[in-house]
């Protein structure tokens, strides 16, 4: 892989770096998309993915939602961080200011060692009380989920992820926007750049003068915006980039 002189200079001199990761990064760990196609799961007990993973189902059949999410958590527990996750965890130590924003809910960035991750869509190994809003961390692979009731108010718990029909958690995306707007170097890795509002982050970074770099196997709608595009597996490309640091 050939790196341009401009990119090498930007990478070596950058003090403020922001990274957005998507499903492509997790796919390299064997994480299925659960959206259908290939070997992924398109339906659950006859219900489409976007129905069982919806806000409406939480109110209508929370037990069914948990059965589905516990199944997903069981699948994800067998997946481990890959070189892309591990490299980004290292970058957090290498740069003066580093922000990692992810659309993924699998928690693999944290398992790789990343300390400060902005999870715009939540985390599948966390639950949230429908009554008082208290959050509970769940052990990876603990299926069925525990606790089953809120320890504070005995309210029902739901998966702490953004479901279809829901807004992003208050303050989470705003924090990501703030970081994107002030970074010198912005990486968008393993995402088709179709899911908004997260897909707007590289656009915000570009408008504010950042050098934008795309890492993805294929061209995306965002490619024309980027100053540099690398085609291939994220783990391999990020390791190659790191060699110039």
Amino acid 42: pLDDT: 58
Radius of gyration of the chain (CA): 18
Which residues are identified as catalytic? 121
Amino acid 181: pLDDT: 98
**pLDDT tens digit sequence for 188-209:** 999 987 778 888 999 999 999 9
Quick check: 40 pLDDT over 50?
no
Query: What's the CA gap between 21 and 216, in Å, rounded?
Result: 10
Model-wide pTM > 0.85: yes
Amino acid 38: pLDDT: 41
The sign of the dihedral angle between the CA atoms of 108, 111, 115, 119 is: positive
Average pLDDT over residues 218-243: 94
Query: What's the CA gap between 234 and 190, in Å, rounded?
Result: 7
Structure tokens at 201: 């982050």
Amino acid 39: pLDDT: 46
**pLDDT tens digit sequence for 124-174:** 999 999 999 999 999 987 888 999 999 999 999 999 999 999 999 889 999
Q: Which domains does the chain have, with CATH numbers?
A: 5-30+81-121+168-242 (3.40.50.1220), 32-78+125-161 (3.30.1600.10)
184 and 10 Cβ atoms separated by less than 8 Å: yes
**pLDDT tens digit sequence for 96-118:** 999 999 999 999 999 999 999 99
Quick check: 37 pLDDT over 80?
no
Query: What's the CA gap between 85 and 90, in Å, rounded?
Result: 9
> In this predicted model, which residue has the larger pLDDT, 45 or 129?
129
Structure tokens at 240: 């190659």
> In this predicted model, which residue has the larger pLDDT, 12 or 3?
12
């Amino acid at each position: 892989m050939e790196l341009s002189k401009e990119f090498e200079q930007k990478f070596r001199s950058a003090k403020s770096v922001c990274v957005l990761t998507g499903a492509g990064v997790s796919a390299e760990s064997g994480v299925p998309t659960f959206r259908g196609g290939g070997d992924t799961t398109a339906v659950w007990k006859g219900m489409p993915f976007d129905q069982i993973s919806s806000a409406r189902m939480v109110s209508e059949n929370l037990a069914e939602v948990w059965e589905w999410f516990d199944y997903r958590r069981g699948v994800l527990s067998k997946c481990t961080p890959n070189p892309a996750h591990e490299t980004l965890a290292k970058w957090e130590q290498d740069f003066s200011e580093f922000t990692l924003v992810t659309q993924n809910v699998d928690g693999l960035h944290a398992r790789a060692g990343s300390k400060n991750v902005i999870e715009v869509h939540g985390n599948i190994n966390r639950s949230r009380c429908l009554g008082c809003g208290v959050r509970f961390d769940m052990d990876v692979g603990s299926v069925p989920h525990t606790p089953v009731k809120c320890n504070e108010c005995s309210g029902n718990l739901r998966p702490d992820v953004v479901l279809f029909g829901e807004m992003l958690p208050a303050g989470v995306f705003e924090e990501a926007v703030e970081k994107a707007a002030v970074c010198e170097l912005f990486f968008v890795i393993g995402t088709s750049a179709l899911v908004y509002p997260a897909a707007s982050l590289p656009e915000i970074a570009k408008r504010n003068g950042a050098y934008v770099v795309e890492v993805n196997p294929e061209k995306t709608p965002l490619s024309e915006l980027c100053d540099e595009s690398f085609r291939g597996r994220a783990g391999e490309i990020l390791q190659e980039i790191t060699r110039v640091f």
